[in-house]
Every structure is written in structure tokens, then in C-alpha cells.
Structure 1
């Protein structure tokens, strides 16, 4: 959601269907209820108003707490952002590395399964994923470096699947790096406009984007 000049209030964010996704399911089970609530509130705040325009008061108000409550659980606003972005990148990488996907032998079927899963994850968590992709400039240099490494792992994993298909003759002799970037960009771009109450379910969009990915490597 593009940031408006008028800031969203906590109530407006809670009521806006464009800011509803499955982000609350992302947080570690060992985190307490308040910590998980603060992270979910921060996702909405960062997506609606941007990281720099969001205050700790905004985040705390989203779960009915005083501004000082956030510092009990997170030393800084930047650490809240880092936790969201780190968890998002780790979860999507684990999702596309699911054993059921790794067990697929055919290069084409494996690529279809990966692109579908990657797309579905971004659709289900489109608000959190928007923060993961568009708020990187709010991280410290050290934290940004950690996220870049996770992104390299994801890109390298999918690039390896495309390269495998080129090598075994399943795919055309494409530029593996460029084609992989195009596939990833398709799935990531949906976070700008997707909403769960729209016309396409995450699964439908996943199948559609997977078909497009296979067309990019068709012989």
C-alpha cells in the first residue's frame, strides 16, 4: 500500500482489509503473546505508514499498550523491523525447501512446485512480505548484511533448480541468472497490490505464476 500523506491510525489499520494477512502465524512459538502482538502491529504500521514515519507509540497502540511497553520486549524499533524481515526471509526459504518439493525428480515439476510455493507464501503473507521487501533501508548495516545473505541463499537455491533443468535438457538454453530474477520478481511484486479478499486465492495465483515460469524456460 502506498503511503498517504495522512497517516493511518491504529483503528484504521486494524479495520483495513488490505492490511490483513497471515503474518501473525510467522512468529516463533517461544515468543510471548505480547511480543507476537507487537510484531503483528508493527507489520501493519510499517506497511501502511513506512518504517521511518512509524513511532513506537504507533506500534504499542496497535495492541493497546503504552509506548514504553515496546522497549520491555524489543530494545529498539529497528530490532522490531529486523525480526520481521529476518523471520520473513527464513520462513519463505524453508517453505520452498519443503521435503515434498525436494523429493520431486522432474526439473519442470520441481520448478513448478517451487514457484507456486514461493508465490503462495508471498500472497498469504503479503503485508509482512511488503515490509520485508520495501523497508530494508531501515536496517543497520550489520542487519542488512544478514538479510542479504538470506536473499542470496534463496536466489541461489532457485537458480540451481533452473540451472539443473538447463543442464539436463528439460529447459531451453536460457540465461539462468536473468530468468531466475524474472521469476522471483513476479512473485515478489504481488505484495504491492495483492489482498486476500481479492479475486485470486494464493493457490490460484501460485499455479498461474508457476505456469508463467515454465514458459520462460520452455524449449
Structure 2
């Protein structure tokens, strides 16, 4: 019989250095003090124990309240998860859009900035981002569809950046979808292991991963083809 995974109590989670990040900064002005604290507690509980193993009692206990207090602010545990995942995806998308990105000249520099910002965002909010990435299947179908659209829009930002470089000859004639999938995986996978008290700051890790991403598209493509600008670019359809 398989050994049951140990559950972490709210008291254990509060001071665990692996669960310290800037997630509390994500909650906007639409939330009061208590809902913000509940969302932060839920992030830690979901990240450590998973959505299904977390109870409303766990979330409320993390802020010193009774289980009934959660329902005053959120009708269900699933809606708590939805708020976390929705806000996380919206904030991550906003971080790679806007005038600051649009003003960057050159395909290579724009891609570098995008990857650096995307990676740093996930490192800075690695606990909330872990929930955003690994608890999606617990969402209700309509909420899942909403998040899937946000993910598609985020992917399109990077697809457009890589496709632009392929088209103008800056990048090798790579398979855009496959390369973008690899680039985004770099920035997302770190949520499993990153700690703010580790050797790399979010910005340092972002710059390092941006350098790796550029190596995927400059000079030599991942499939071994040279970056001959006369070659026809490979622009695959969106997933």
C-alpha cells in the first residue's frame, strides 16, 4: 500500500522559507485586508498540500480565523483557487505587455527583455505561480476555459516575438511553436525549486534564462540547421 504523503499544517507553512515570495503583492485594491490574507494563506496551502488535500479550515487557520470566515468572502474553495490562478495569469501577461515592451527595438533585444521579465516574475511570485501552473485541473470547466484563453494570449506574445525574428532574418529558421514552448518551460519550471533566499535573485535568473533563450534562436537552431537568413522561416500553427 502506498504511503500517504504528509500534510503540512498552516503553522508549519507560515515560516517555511520555501513558501516565502511576493504573492501578497498580487492582490489588488478590490480585496480588503481579510480576503488578501486568506488568498495568501490559500496560496501556501495549495502549493504545499495541493488543492484537493487542502481544507477551508486549513486556509482560515492560516490567518487565525474560523472555517466559516472564509465563506464570508469566497463562496467556495474552488473560487479561492480561481481568484489566485486568474490574478496570477493576468499579472504575468501584463508584465510582458505594454509601452515598455513595445518600445524595445530589434527582435533579439525584445525577446531578451520578454524572457527576462517573464522568468523574473515567476521567480518573484514562485509560490503563487506554482499554484497557477499545477492546480489548473481543479478549476471548474468555465474557469478552466477562462485561464486557457489567458495562457494562449501569453503564448502569442512570445510566438510573435520569435516569428518576427525568424521573418526578418535575425533568428535561425526555427520551428516557432517548439522553440517558444522550450523558452516558456524555462521560466515556468523554476517554480518547483526556486527560493528567494537562494543564490540568484529573480532578475539575475531572468537575465541568465534570457541568454539561454537567445541561444535557441541565434546562429544555430535546435535542430542543427544554420541561421541562414535566406532560408524559409518555419512558422507553425498555434496549438
Give distance in 2, aligned partners of 1:99 and 1:203. 20
1:132-168 deviations in whole A, cap 9, x for unaligned? Answer: 0000111011100000000000001110000000001
Partner of residue 90, structure 2: 90
1:129-168 alignment, distance < 5 Å = 129-168=129-168
1:82-127 deviations in whole A, cap 9, x for unaligned? Answer: 0000000000000011421211011100000000000000000000
Deviant stretches of 4+, over 4 Å: none
Task: Answer 1 or 2: which has greater helix percent.
Answer: 1
Count of residues in correspondence between the two structures: 216
Structure 1 portions without partners, runs of 5+: none
1:22-79 deviations in whole A, cap 9, x for unaligned? Answer: 0000011121000000000000000011000000000000111000000000000000
1:183-212 deviations in whole A, cap 9, x for unaligned? Answer: 000110000000000011111100000000
Partner of residue 233, structure 2: none
SS in 2 for 1:68: helix
Contact (CA 8 Å) 2:44, 2:127: kept in 1 or not? yes
Contact (CA 8 Å) 2:110, 2:161: kept in 1 or not? yes
- Judge which range, 93-102 or 165-174, deviates more: 93-102
Give distance in 1, aligned partners of 2:176 and 2:24. 35
Give distance in 2, aligned partners of 1:129 and 1:198. 17
Partner of residue 202, structure 2: 202
Partner of residue 48, structure 1: 48
Structure 2 portions without partners, runs of 5+: 220-239
Partner of residue 180, structure 2: 180
Partner of residue 66, structure 1: 66
Larger radius of gyration: 2
Partner of residue 117, structure 1: 117
Report the RMSD for the aligned CA atoms in angstroms: 0.8
TM-score with structure 1 setting the length: 0.97
Give distance in 2, aligned partners of 1:98 and 1:24. 23
